[in-house]
């Protein structure tokens, strides 16, 4: 028998964790002499009450959906992909090459091409550590984290030596041609006559690709025989072997899907926002993906919700940095608290809840 | 009664969360007797003994030793009270000598040599007193399982144990070794020691105990004098209803060979040869049983046949040869397509995914078959669920709820889920490993019937079991394995446990005659 009803596990545990994180954050804000209520108001006002705020929030959310899904898929195979950061960077390289060197007639085609390029590059980058894990037993956590550094070096090399236009002082690629530019939410809203909505916000059509990716991952994991094998291997290696599931194949496939999803983050940041390849465009989204996957319990719907929350925290944090004396570093601390409580410490919340439900059951008997 | 009981438990209760593992358990064991505790897996035997040895703390109840009430917060206290425990899985340091193992945790000072010489003298005395001969200087990994068990007993006696608890002591022994153990136990009883024997084997209870307690679902259902009871009565008390201990079956009508194995050898990852030139044939319509003490190559044979270990030699299924060279990563699905089904030895590790729901487990290994898929990319989950529910009803899985997670079923019901999956495919060949390990008696009856029914449909069955009773009652032919090789074949109707036991101990065919 499960000790707690499912809904408690899925809804109450994350909410309670979130509340604890918020409470500690409030104490911190009080400690530096600001009002947590005012801070919360500011965060909500800056994100949820203005369309531009939504535009920024959904831009971050898009990144976190991709990386969160990526970590989830690997989790289902019991693989801990910490290399999202590097896979996204290399995905960005893929996007840049596709956008710069193929003359696209229209963005609708360019986004397909860029998605393929991003996914392919991310896939290859995740495939290398996957191969080392599957064939040589090198631990995926160690190799993927090292591949992050290699990816950063590779990106650096390309931006300083290869893709930088002649005479430019900036380690960045040339601007992508305008036919590859993705419509932002502002452009879309204008189509419907709302010229002022989402003004200058970076959210763009790749958000919808992220939503599609959620549906695709859901089908993959819970409806396809491949997903079944991924989950089987993740739950029990010996059982998978008994059933004739090939571990090497499944490890490779799961990691490559994970890498592809991470890579696709770049269509949002690189094709959609900066419209050129720049250094450090990933801004830690690969790591946030781990927290998103943990909080979302590796389920696409959960990932979507968690990605929205982290999008809110990112945008809200930026608002705080802009309008209050709360320093930027403290905002990182608040985000870290949320990650800590919703991800790593969720057991801390679950244990007392389980005891509570156990005593309820006893009282009933 | 003049004498105090050696050990007495009064109304011991213990629960783990919502599960009540022990409920108001009361036992009195008189000194100088052997008391059996019998019950199915999960009946609460092990919990009770863990309480006695200080691993768990009882929620309620009292423990008396020699009439004095004591509390046992940890194993040190249990040892101090004169309680010694021999676990099912020995707690010995493999690369230490016998002597070093015996003093481990009971060293008398900072320097080892005085402890060792003291132990050596004492060991000699103990060996003489109880006829427990063990060479004190042998290394544990070099001596046999039976010897290792003696070391465990000596360890307890060295710590002045008066009450010895043995948990499933014969699980890893050959029948001959088990007989030796029983002789030792009887000798200990003569010397006034009190012995508590935990087992699920009815025969052992009948052979050696003076009194017996039966446990069912955490409760003590009866305590009887062994003379006044019978295996049938005990089985009924364990299960709560009448059970058939014998398997009803007609003589086999074997026809064409289904599985042919020629010169099969296998070397494991550590370079140890696990299978040595195995030759055997299983025909349609017969059950071939493979007997042997655990760890003599039976598991490896199943693994090679199941397609997840590489091997050399020839395996033919329905006349066509199976490729053994690429089997490292598993050809399980290909072999299933050829008509092989496999009930693995360890259902919790291999046969089932404990976190998957019953319906997901019900197609495990067959999930890529067309009948379970809408098309190449989607599984037909609704149809699988529906089919699983029907299967669960046919195999009497309780509760017949396909959405329940596998770990929430009892051992017997888990095994029925595996059996239903493998048997309902209507395979030509069924590999069965330890079909009733950890399964309650009621379910054993059902599982045996299913296996016999499959045979009667003209299917070939290869049965591997360490339970000699099971091999003898199910098989039509018996092969004995020892150290990776087949020692000989016997007709179960014309052999006996003694003869098989010799083969299981590696005494060759000629020597046995």
- What is the domain count for chain B? 2
Contact at CB, A235 and B356, closer than 8 angstroms: yes
- The 3-state DSSP composition of chain A as helix, strand, coil percent (nearest 5) reads 75, 0, 20
Rounded Cα distance, A97 and B472, in Å: 71
The fraction of chain A above a pLDDT of 90, given in percent, is 67
Residue B18: which of A229, A235, A358 has the nearest Cβ? A358
Q: What is the mean pLDDT of residues A143-153?
A: 97
Q: How confident is the model at residue A324 (pLDDT cuts 50, 70, 90)?
A: confident
Q: What is the mean pLDDT of residues A248-270?
A: 96
Residue A239: which of B307, B331, B353 has the nearest Cβ? B353
Contact at CB, A239 and B349, closer than 8 angstroms: yes
* Residue pair A270/A277 in contact by the 8 Å Cβ criterion: yes
Confirm whether B224 is domain-assigned: yes
pLDDT, chain B, mean: 88
Rounded Cα distance, A26 and A217, in Å: 36
Q: How confident is the model at residue B326 (pLDDT cuts 50, 70, 90)?
A: low
* Residue pair B245/B232 in contact by the 8 Å Cβ criterion: yes
Q: What is the mean pLDDT of residues A50-59?
A: 93
Q: How confident is the model at residue B1 (pLDDT cuts 50, 70, 90)?
A: very low
* Residue pair B170/B197 in contact by the 8 Å Cβ criterion: no
Domain that holds residue B468: 257-352+427-512
Instruction: Note whether B129 and B27 are same-domain residues.
Output: yes
Tokens of B428: 């030509």
| CB count in 10 Å sphere of residue A322 | 10
Q: Chain A: nearest CA to B356, how far in angstroms?
A: 8
**Host H or E run for residue B35:** strand B34-39
Rounded Cα distance, B513 and B511, in Å: 5
Instruction: Note whether B336 and B222 are same-domain residues.
Output: no
Output the pLDDT for position A199: 84
Contact at CB, B381 and A242, closer than 8 angstroms: no
| CB count in 10 Å sphere of residue A163 | 20
Chain A residue closest in CA terms to B343: A242
| A363 part of contact set with chain B, CB < 8 Å | no
Angle subtended at Cα A209 by Cα A208 and Cα A214, rounded to the nearest 5 degrees? 95
Helix and strand numbers (H, E) in chain B are 17, 22
| A137 part of contact set with chain B, CB < 8 Å | no
Handedness of CA A332, A334, A338, A344 (dihedral sign): positive
- Per-residue pLDDT reduced to its tens digit, B441-474: 778 889 999 999 999 999 999 999 988 888 999 9
| CB count in 10 Å sphere of residue A196 | 10
Instruction: Note whether B443 and B483 are same-domain residues.
Output: yes
In the predicted structure, residue B245 carries a pLDDT above the cut 70: no
Rounded Cα distance, A303 and A293, in Å: 6
* Residue pair A198/A184 in contact by the 8 Å Cβ criterion: yes
In the predicted structure, residue B325 carries a pLDDT above the cut 90: no
DSSP A263-288: HHHHIIIIIIIISS-BTTTTTTHHHH
Rounded Cα distance, B468 and B290, in Å: 9
Instruction: Note whether B62 and B118 are same-domain residues.
Output: yes
- Per-residue pLDDT reduced to its tens digit, A204-217: 999 999 999 999 99
Instruction: Note whether B269 and B214 are same-domain residues.
Output: no
Rounded Cα distance, B90 and B68, in Å: 30
Name the burial class of residue A11, with classes exposed (0-12), middle (13-18) and buried (19+) by CB atoms within 10 angstroms of its CB.
Answer: exposed
**Which residues of B293-398 form beta strands (DSSP E)?**
312-317, 320-321, 340-343, 373-375, 378-379
Output the pLDDT for position B512: 46
Lowest mean pLDDT among B13-22, B54-63, B296-305: B13-22
Confirm whether B383 is domain-assigned: no
Instruction: Note whether B264 and B158 are same-domain residues.
Output: no
**Between residues B162 and B107, the one the model is more confident about:** B162
* Residue pair B414/B267 in contact by the 8 Å Cβ criterion: no
What's the CATH code of the domain at B308?
3.40.50.300
A–B: how many Cβ contacts below 8 A? 81
Lowest mean pLDDT among A89-93, B232-236, B241-245: B241-245
Q: Chain A: nearest CA to B465, how far in angstroms?
A: 18
Confirm whether B120 is domain-assigned: yes
* CB contacts, 8 Å: B367 with chain A: 225, 228-229, 243
Tokens of B266: 């296998």
Q: How confident is the model at residue A1 (pLDDT cuts 50, 70, 90)?
A: very low
Instruction: Note whether B115 and B152 are same-domain residues.
Output: yes
Domain ranges of chain A: 62-299
The fraction of chain A above a pLDDT of 70, given in percent, is 98
Q: Which of B239, B268, B285 is the last residue of a domain?
A: B239
Rounded Cα distance, B44 and B47, in Å: 5
DSSP A169-199: -SSBPPPPPGGGPPPBHHHHHHHTT-TTTTT
Contacts of residue B360, defined as CB under 8 A and 6 or more positions apart, other chains included, come to A228, B353, B384
Rounded Cα distance, A15 and A18, in Å: 5
Instruction: Note whether B131 and B205 are same-domain residues.
Output: yes
Q: What is the mean pLDDT of residues B43-51?
A: 85
Rounded Cα distance, A139 and A142, in Å: 6
Place of tokens 């003298």: B121
* Residue pair B385/B359 in contact by the 8 Å Cβ criterion: yes
Q: What is the ipTM of this complex?
A: 0.84
**Which residues of B204-272 form beta strands (DSSP E)?**
211-216, 219-225, 257-267
Rounded Cα distance, B300 and B291, in Å: 14
Instruction: Note whether B122 and B39 are same-domain residues.
Output: yes
| B152 part of contact set with chain A, CB < 8 Å | no
Rounded Cα distance, B444 and B453, in Å: 14
Name the burial class of residue B385, with classes exposed (0-12), middle (13-18) and buried (19+) by CB atoms within 10 angstroms of its CB.
Answer: middle
End-to-end CA distance of chain A: 15
Q: Chain B: nearest CA to A242, how far in angstroms?
A: 6
* Residue pair B398/B383 in contact by the 8 Å Cβ criterion: no
A positions 249-308 inside 8 Å of B (CB):
249
CA atoms within 13 A on the CB side of B483: 7
Output the pLDDT for position A364: 65
| CB count in 10 Å sphere of residue B3 | 10
Disruptive mutation site among A217, A229, A243 for chain B (greatest number of B CBs within 10 Å): A243
In the predicted structure, residue A365 carries a pLDDT above the cut 70: no
Instruction: Note whether B155 and B208 are same-domain residues.
Output: yes
Instruction: Note whether B268 and B232 are same-domain residues.
Output: no
Instruction: Note whether B12 and B62 are same-domain residues.
Output: yes
Name the burial class of residue A47, with classes exposed (0-12), middle (13-18) and buried (19+) by CB atoms within 10 angstroms of its CB.
Answer: buried
pLDDT, chain A, mean: 91
Output the pLDDT for position B281: 96
| CB count in 10 Å sphere of residue A297 | 17
Tokens of A179: 């036919």
Output the pLDDT for position A301: 95
Output the pLDDT for position B298: 92
* CB contacts, 8 Å: A2 with chain B: 408
In the predicted structure, residue B39 carries a pLDDT above the cut 90: no
Contact at CB, A244 and B378, closer than 8 angstroms: no
In the predicted structure, residue B2 carries a pLDDT above the cut 70: no
In the predicted structure, residue B91 carries a pLDDT above the cut 90: no
Contacts of residue B71, defined as CB under 8 A and 6 or more positions apart, other chains included, come to B63, B77
- Per-residue pLDDT reduced to its tens digit, B130-163: 878 888 898 998 888 888 888 999 999 888 899 9
Output the pLDDT for position A188: 92
Question: SS3 of A22, please?
Answer: helix
Q: What is the mean pLDDT of residues B400-423?
A: 90
Q: Which of B183, B213, B239 is the last residue of a domain?
A: B239
Q: How confident is the model at residue B330 (pLDDT cuts 50, 70, 90)?
A: low
In the predicted structure, residue A239 carries a pLDDT above the cut 50: yes
In the predicted structure, residue B40 carries a pLDDT above the cut 90: no
Q: How confident is the model at residue B329 (pLDDT cuts 50, 70, 90)?
A: very low
């Amino acid at each position: 028998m499960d000790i707690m009803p499912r809904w408690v596990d899925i809804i109450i545990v994350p909410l309670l964790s979130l509340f604890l994180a918020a409470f500690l954050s409030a104490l911190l804000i009080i400690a530096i002499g600001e009002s947590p209520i005012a801070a919360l108001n500011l965060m909500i006002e800056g994100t949820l009450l203005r369309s531009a705020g939504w535009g920024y929030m959904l831009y971050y959310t898009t990144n976190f959906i991709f990386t969160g899904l990526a970590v989830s898929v690997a989790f289902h195979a019991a693989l801990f992909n910490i290399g999202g950061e590097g896979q996204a960077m290399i995905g960005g390289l893929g996007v840049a090459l596709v956008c710069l060197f193929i003359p696209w007639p229209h963005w609708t085609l360019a986004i397909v091409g860029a998605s393929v390029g991003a996914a392919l590059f991310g896939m290859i980058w995740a495939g290398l550590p996957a191969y080392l894990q599957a064939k040589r037993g090198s631990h995926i956590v160690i190799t993927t984290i090292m591949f992050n550094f290699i990816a950063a070096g590779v990106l650096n090399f390309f931006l300083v030596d290869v893709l930088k236009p002649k005479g430019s002082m900036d380690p960045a690629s040339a601007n992508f041609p305008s036919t590859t530019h993705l419509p932002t939410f502002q452009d879309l809203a204008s189509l419907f006559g709302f010229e002022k909505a989402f003004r200058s916000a970076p959210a763009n059509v790749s958000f919808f690709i992220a939503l599609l990716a959620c549906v695709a991952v859901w089908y993959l994991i819970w409806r396809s025989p491949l997903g079944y094998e991924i989950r089987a291997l993740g739950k029990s290696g010996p059982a998978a072997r008994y059933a004739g599931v090939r571990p090497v194949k499944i490890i490779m496939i799961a990691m490559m899907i994970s890498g592809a999803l991470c890579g696709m983050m770049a269509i949002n940041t690189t094709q959609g926002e900066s419209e050129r390849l720049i250094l450090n465009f990933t801004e830690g989204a690969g790591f946030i993906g781990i927290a998103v996957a943990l909080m979302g319990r590796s389920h696409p719907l959960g990932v979507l919700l968690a990605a929205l929350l982290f999008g809110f925290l990112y945008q809200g944090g930026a608002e705080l940095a802009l309008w209050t004396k709360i320093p930027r570093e403290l905002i990182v601390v608040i985000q870290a608290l949320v990650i800590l409580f919703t991800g790593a410490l969720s057991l801390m919340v679950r244990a007392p809840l389980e005891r509570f439900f156990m005593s309820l059951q006893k009282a009933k008997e | 009664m003049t004498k105090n009981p050696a050990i007495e438990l009064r109304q011991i209760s213990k629960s783990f969360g919502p599960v009540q593992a022990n409920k108001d358990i009361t036992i009195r064991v008189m000194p100088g007797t052997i008391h059996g505790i019998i019950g199915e897996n999960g009946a609460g035997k092990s919990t009770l003994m863990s309480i006695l040895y200080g691993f768990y703390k009882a929620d309620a109840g009292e423990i008396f030793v020699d009439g004095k009430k004591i509390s046992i917060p940890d194993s040190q206290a249990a040892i101090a009270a004169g309680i010694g425990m021999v676990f099912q899985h020995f707690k010995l340091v493999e690369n230490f000598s016998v002597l070093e193992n015996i003093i481990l945790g009971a060293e008398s000072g900072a320097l080892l040599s005085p402890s060792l010489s003291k132990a050596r003298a004492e060991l000699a005395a103990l060996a003489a007193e109880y006829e427990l001969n063990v060479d004190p200087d042998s290394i544990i990994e070099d001596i046999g399982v039976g010897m290792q068990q003696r070391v465990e007993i000596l360890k307890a006696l060295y710590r002045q144990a008066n009450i010895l608890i043995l948990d499933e002591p014969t699980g890893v022994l050959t029948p001959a070794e088990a007989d030796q153990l029983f002789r030792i136990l009887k000798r200990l009883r003569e010397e006034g020691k009190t012995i508590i024997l935990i087992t699920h084997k009815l025969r052992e209870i009948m052979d050696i105990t003076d009194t017996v307690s039966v446990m069912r679902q955490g409760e003590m259902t009866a305590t009887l004098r062994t003379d006044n009871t019978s295996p049938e009565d005990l089985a009924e008390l364990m299960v709560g209803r009448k059970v058939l201990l014998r398997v009803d079956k007609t003589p086999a009508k074997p026809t064409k060979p289904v599985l042919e194995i020629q010169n099969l050898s296998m070397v494991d990852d550590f370079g140890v040869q696990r299978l040595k030139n195995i030759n055997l044939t299983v025909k349609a319509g017969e059950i071939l049983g493979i007997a042997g003490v655990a760890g003599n190559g039976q598991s490896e044979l199943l693994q090679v046949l199941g397609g997840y270990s590489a091997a050399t030699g020839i395996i033919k299924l329905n006349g066509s040869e199976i490729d053994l060279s690429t089997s490292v990563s598993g050809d399980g699905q290909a072999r299933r397509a050829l008509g092989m089904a496999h009930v693995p030895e360890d259902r919790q590790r291999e046969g089932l995914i404990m976190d998957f729901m019953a319906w997901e487990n019900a197609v495990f290994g067959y999930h890529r078959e067309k009948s379970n898929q809408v098309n190449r990319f989607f599984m037909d989950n609704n149809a699988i669920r529906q089919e699983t529910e029907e299967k669960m009803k046919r195999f009497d899985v309780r509760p017949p709820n396909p959405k329940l997670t596998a770990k929430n079923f009892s051992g017997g019901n888990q095994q029925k889920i595996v059996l239903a999956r493998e048997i309902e495919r209507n395979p030509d060949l069924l590999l069965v490993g330890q079909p009733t390990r950890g399964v309650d008696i009621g379910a054993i009856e059902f599982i045996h019937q299913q296996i016999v029914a499959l045979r009667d449909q003209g299917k070939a069955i290869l049965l591997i079991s360490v339970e000699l009773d099971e091999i003898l009652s199910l098989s039509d032919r018996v092969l004995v394995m020892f150290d990776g090789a087949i020692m000989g074949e016997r007709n179960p109707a014309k052999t006996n446990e003694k003869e098989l036991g010799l083969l299981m101990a590696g005494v060759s065919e000629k020597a046995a005659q």
